[in-house]
Structure 1
Amino acid sequence: MLTRLHDFLRLRTSPSIFFGSAAVIIAFVVGTIVFTEPLDAAVTVASEWLYANLGWFYILGLTLFLGFLIFIALSRFGRVKLGPHDEPPEHSGPAWFAMLFAAGIGSILMFWGVAEPISHFGDPPRGPSLGIEPETAGAAADAMNFTFYHFTLHTWAIFTLPALCFAYFIHKRNLPPRVSSIFQPIIGEGIHGPIGRFIDIVAIVGTVFGIAVSLGLGALQINSGINRVFGIPESAMWQLIIIGVVGGVAMISVALGLDRGIKVLSNINIWMAIAMLVFILVTGSTLFVLKGTIESLGSYLMNLPELALWNDTFADSGWQADWTVFYWAWTISWSPFVGIFISRISRGRTIRGFVSGVLLVPAGFSVLWFGIFGFSAFDIELHGDGGLVESVVEQEDIPGALFAFLEHYPAVGFTSVIAIILVIVFFITSVDSAALVADTMANGHEDFNPLGQRIFWAIAIAVVTATLLVFSGTGGLEALEKIIVLVGLPFFVMGYFQMYAMYRALREDAGELPQVRMRRWKKVLPPEEYERRQDEDEHDTSEVVVEPEALDEPPVLRDPYVKQARITGTHGTLSARTGSTKRKDLQRKQPPRSEDEGPKDSE
């Protein structure tokens, strides 16, 4: 039945995954509207239980992910290229970084750039346990420690782990661009079966909800900005209008594709963001901000081991559940979308270059961003007119933090409009990237995707966002936080299996010695697409398969870059067995081997 409906709608996707994901999303929207109070009560109970009992699991898991990535990058596998060994990177460094920034954390920086440091400055995270007084120098130092902890290495480890796995299995093993492909070393051809389909449905639904939370936060921030600049009220109606505009422009960008839509918007936005950063630095207390940023970076690096495993055990204030656990659960829920997107733009890079680039470059920019905005905000509170703590902490106006901050700088009207544009474009790039990736995950390939399918996912994101903000039983931001913590849990569990699958695949393809040239694999298509292409004359299916199949075997006991004849024996020194030194005594005593006496070393 699903196949007949699929064909009737002229789709080109995997029916069970597409309709399964769509059914879950539609059921949530309808259930939230019809059963608002019971659903809100159930979500509240579940999220509170998770906060109380599994917060430590999120904290420990993410630190393990970061450690695994550093290990892989520094190991012998760091030289492995994500694609053919002789292929250069597909995108230049600046273009690659711009797309990383816009699709990954650009929207987060705009929302939390001022709100995060000021929130912790006015309400220190470790105040009860360490006796840190609010609105003091000690509070400012600890606020920056936690801000960097939340938005630099750990946040980008969430994106880097699935992105690395996707890049390897998509570009190296030529598997479909789906989350289930990462688990191919574990479940084999089961990636096309019920287990694989279930994994992909969970990934797509999680992506939609994760981006919906981001778009919801963006709608609240944009509404706050236009309220301060143009006097437009902060209301559900205007938030729906904002969501509709962002979703509509995102559909246009989706229709234009990666190079003409997302890439162009990303490049424009990154330069606008840098211009705003320079403006804040130059027109504010430049020396104080620069000294503070450098000092806070050193403090963060010194305190990182403690922060990475801190669980608020003795004070048990509940702060960590509201901040750190929420961040990790929210961010990991849309890691499949960011992971596939990063893997698509990273073909041709080595694992070491990929991990170091995705971890360090955006994290370094985040240090500059939060350092400049954070210490500029501290300067306003400690040496200026103040008012930010009152607005952000006491009145809980987190969406309006950036615009309250800009009121202390020249040309407030102009800079506020630029900030609104930046926020809008960042969220447009997030929505159109997510729609493109969700469609790719549903299809299992990146070719011949009808435009209507991509537009459907953009609409789904907008509808879920509107439902969470307007029709949920609690306040919009609170409802978003409750939902996303529950959605993020399955992805944390998947992360452990991703690490095992990645390491196992590298060992399988690299053999027993450090290798860079890897085993080659045939292109894999989902069964539905394979059958369609067999019936279409313009496609050659002789080089594609449904079940993963390697073209050759991994090399054993030799360097694949060295092409030389060598004499090996079953016993002897390491140099004799690896061919690094020819043994003259063997050359004299051993007769030449005929072709039928056994296998030779393979090239």
Structure 2
Amino acid sequence: MSDKKLYDTDYELGQDNLQRFGMDVHHPVFWIASGLVILFVVGVLMAPEASKGWFDGAKWWSIGQFDWLFMVAGNIFVLFSLALIILPVGKIRLGGPDAKPEFTRLSWFAMLFAAGMGIGLMFWSVAEPTAYFTGWYETPLGVTANSPEAAPMAMSATMFHWGLHPWAIYAVVALSLAFFSYNKGLPLTIRSAFYPLIKDHSWGPFGHLIDVIAVVATLFGLATSLGFGAQQASAGLEFLFGIKAGINSQVAIIVGVTAVALVSVLRGLDGGVKVLSNINMGLAGLLMLFVLIAGPTAIIFITMGDTLLHYLMNIVPLSNWVDRSDEAWMQGWTVFYWAWWISWSPFVGMFIARISKGRTVREFIVAVLLVPTLVTLVWMSIFGGSALDQVQNGVGALANGIDKVELAMFQMLQNLPMATITSALGIVLVLVFFITSSDSGSLVIDAITAGGKVDAPAMQRTFWVVIEGVVAAVLLFGGGAEALTALQAAAITVGLPFTLVLLAMCVCVYMGLSHEKKYGFQNY
């Protein structure tokens, strides 16, 4: 670490690129990743039930055998990220002392939040606390379902899964990529984060492997979310307007989302992703404000305080992997979530890195870790608090517990004024959140498969947007729910090896920040 030339490499990742057919692809990452995706889709379509069984087995083996690793790693990511806020390296600016941010703080936050988990909050903000409170599938820390203690525990456990831990996972990846790209002049791709440890081996087979895993995990995660999002949107349309929520309507939604995402990604960050993200956050804010006013306002504000208090009280017990009395809930919910967030981290982390040049490390961590956690607290308290109030008072369908997860949000809105309008707005939000995830994810895959270039040709951006939609639609149409579940299980299984990747990233980024603090900004 005393070598001032630690990051001096003459290698340019893009030198292996092939420019043909309007594409600019990197050997061999593009071809291997594309081949694996095609092979997976063909295999699942040929035997959807067998594929689901095999990948489900792999997923639960990973979770069952390595739950301790996921839990320990999640805690390390949180502590590491919080430490960077107070350590002297927090003053380092991404891109050098004179670097200026490309986006306003509001647009920056809107984009990182929409890409990070915006759609998940629409899907689970009502369903998850209701599931915990009613004992739909296990209860956290052994509380009795439907008891007075169950409500605050349900809210704090939900916050645990959507608060500091997932955002710390994203922060580690995003900071690693942003720092090594903007401060050390390395390509904006996953392999660059390992340069302090393995030097020029980053550009060899090990680096190819890391980037291929990142591409496959990103595409599988996006396609899975696109498929499940289509199911939620179609369920909402059937609930509101009686439009049958079958495969045809779900595929039609995927086609529509993919088409809009294609337009957005071709317009780039400023003209596409930023605009949609700002619209998205505006609409989400309106819906949140309406539920706050039309719902049990006083109870919601009390819920916010109680949720924060119980989240802080229970974060250590919920993070405990040694006590096995709660093993079924921990593996079924927490470890599942950690594996899912980790499998998404290459996509979300690289996208956040792409839009974060010019921020200091301290500002970056605060914005990526603390601010989203507070926003999530408000969102969960408003929607989850309203749902639990309906459950406890026997109001509406939720009083009978969870029927279909994809309907929970609409069932809660049904008991508030202007239910049709707000439910329609909810459907629009689901779709726009998916569009922003799809187009930002495509930009990330473009960069990785172009050797770290952030200006991939339009044809290449088109290719990946279309592939995401095609994978989701083909699997849904050809294999139904079994194929989609197999895809999700495959994405989560990738989370196991990538956990080790993220732990190594913590070491590498600290080495890099220490080097920067000692020698100052160097861009080779």
TM-score tier after normalising by the smaller chain length: over 0.9
CA shift digits 1:77-98 (9 cap, x unpaired): 1111111202232222111111
Aligned partners of 2:114 and 2:436 also within 8 Å: yes
Tell me, yes or no, if structure 1 residue 138 matches structure 2 residue 149. Answer: yes
Identity %: 38
Q: Distance in 2 between matches of 1:4 and 1:450?
A: 16
Across the aligned residues of Structure 1 and Structure 2, the Cα RMSD in angstroms comes to 2.1
Residue aligning to 2:493:
486
Compared CA separation, residues 448 and 278, structure 1 to 2 (3 A): closer
One of 174, 189, 210 as aligned partner of 2:185: 174
Equivalent residue letter for 1:303: N
- SS of equivalent residue, structure 2 residue 333: helix
Q: Distance in 2 between matches of 1:307 and 1:151?
A: 13
One of 242, 248, 255 as aligned partner of 2:253: 242
Residue aligning to 2:379:
369
Give how far 1:479 is off: 3.4
Q: Distance in 2 between matches of 1:448 and 1:89?
A: 18
Q: Distance in 2 between matches of 1:141 and 1:469?
A: 37
Q: Distance in 2 between matches of 1:491 and 1:5?
A: 25
After TM superposition, list the pairs within 5 Å mapping 1:389-404 onto structure 2. 389-390=399-400, 392=402, 395=403, 397-404=404-411
Q: Distance in 2 between matches of 1:384 and 1:41?
A: 38
Q: Distance in 2 between matches of 1:140 and 1:387?
A: 18
Compared CA separation, residues 320 and 128, structure 1 to 2 (3 A): closer
After TM superposition, list the pairs within 5 Å mapping 1:48-127 onto structure 2. 48-123=60-135, 127=139
Tell me, yes or no, if structure 1 residue 348 matches structure 2 residue 358. Answer: yes
Give how far 1:305 is off: 1.4
Equivalent residue letter for 2:312: L
Residue aligning to 1:221:
232
After TM superposition, list the pairs within 5 Å mapping 1:25-424 onto structure 2. 25-123=37-135, 127=139, 130=142, 132-310=143-321, 313-316=324-327, 318-390=328-400, 392=402, 395=403, 397-424=404-431
Equivalent residue letter for 1:216: G
Equivalent residue letter for 1:47: K
My pick for the range that moved more, 466-475 or 486-495, is 466-475
Compared CA separation, residues 312 and 275, structure 1 to 2 (3 A): farther
User: For the pair shown, which has the larger CA radius of gyration, 1 or 2?
Assistant: 1
Give how far 1:389 is off: 4.8
Q: Distance in 2 between matches of 1:274 and 1:5?
A: 43
CA shift digits 1:237-292 (9 cap, x unpaired): 22111111111111111111100000001111101101111100101111111011
Give how far 1:294 is off: 0.9
- SS of equivalent residue, structure 1 residue 399: helix
Aligned partners of 1:12 and 1:448 also within 8 Å: no
Give how far 1:445 is off: 3.8
Give how far 1:12 is off: 1.3
- SS of equivalent residue, structure 1 residue 246: helix
Compared CA separation, residues 495 and 268, structure 1 to 2 (3 A): same
Equivalent residue letter for 2:211: D
- SS of equivalent residue, structure 2 residue 405: coil
Compared CA separation, residues 480 and 37, structure 1 to 2 (3 A): closer
- SS of equivalent residue, structure 2 residue 430: helix
Equivalent residue letter for 1:462: G
Give how far 1:15 is off: 3.0
Aligned partners of 1:69 and 1:161 also within 8 Å: yes
CA shift digits 1:296-331 (9 cap, x unpaired): 111111211121224661254x22222222211112
- SS of equivalent residue, structure 1 residue 89: coil
- SS of equivalent residue, structure 1 residue 334: helix
Aligned partners of 2:392 and 2:399 also within 8 Å: no
Q: Distance in 1 between matches of 2:362 and 2:140?
A: 41
CA shift digits 1:158-184 (9 cap, x unpaired): 110100101100110111110000011
Q: Distance in 1 between matches of 2:258 and 2:522?
A: 40
Compared CA separation, residues 385 and 88, structure 1 to 2 (3 A): same
Aligned partners of 1:472 and 1:479 also within 8 Å: no
Residue aligning to 1:455:
462
Q: Distance in 1 between matches of 2:423 and 2:36?
A: 39
Compared CA separation, residues 448 and 341, structure 1 to 2 (3 A): closer
Q: Distance in 2 between matches of 1:288 and 1:492?
A: 39
Give how far 1:129 is off: 5.9
Structure with the larger RCO, 1 or 2 (CA within 8 Å, 6+ apart):
2
Tell me, yes or no, if structure 1 residue 442 matches structure 2 residue 449. Answer: yes
Aligned partners of 2:220 and 2:487 also within 8 Å: no
Aligned partners of 1:32 and 1:467 also within 8 Å: no
After TM superposition, list the pairs within 5 Å mapping 1:502-513 onto structure 2. 502-511=509-518
Equivalent residue letter for 1:102: A
Compared CA separation, residues 507 and 447, structure 1 to 2 (3 A): closer
Residue aligning to 1:520:
522
Q: Distance in 1 between matches of 2:52 and 2:22?
A: 37
Q: Distance in 1 between matches of 2:140 and 2:206?
A: 46
Compared CA separation, residues 497 and 447, structure 1 to 2 (3 A): closer
Q: Distance in 1 between matches of 2:21 and 2:296?
A: 59
Give how far 1:467 is off: 4.4
Equivalent residue letter for 1:345: I
Q: Distance in 1 between matches of 2:410 and 2:454?
A: 43
Give how far 1:383 is off: 2.6
Give how far 1:65 is off: 1.0
Compared CA separation, residues 190 and 384, structure 1 to 2 (3 A): same
* TM-score (ref. length: structure 1): 0.81
CA shift digits 1:356-385 (9 cap, x unpaired): 111011111000000111111111112352
Equivalenced residue count is 510
- Give 1 or 2: higher helix fraction: 2
Compared CA separation, residues 482 and 472, structure 1 to 2 (3 A): farther
Aligned partners of 2:140 and 2:153 also within 8 Å: no
Give how far 1:201 is off: 0.8
Aligned partners of 1:119 and 1:389 also within 8 Å: no
- Gaps of at least 5 residues in structure 1 are 512-516, 523-603
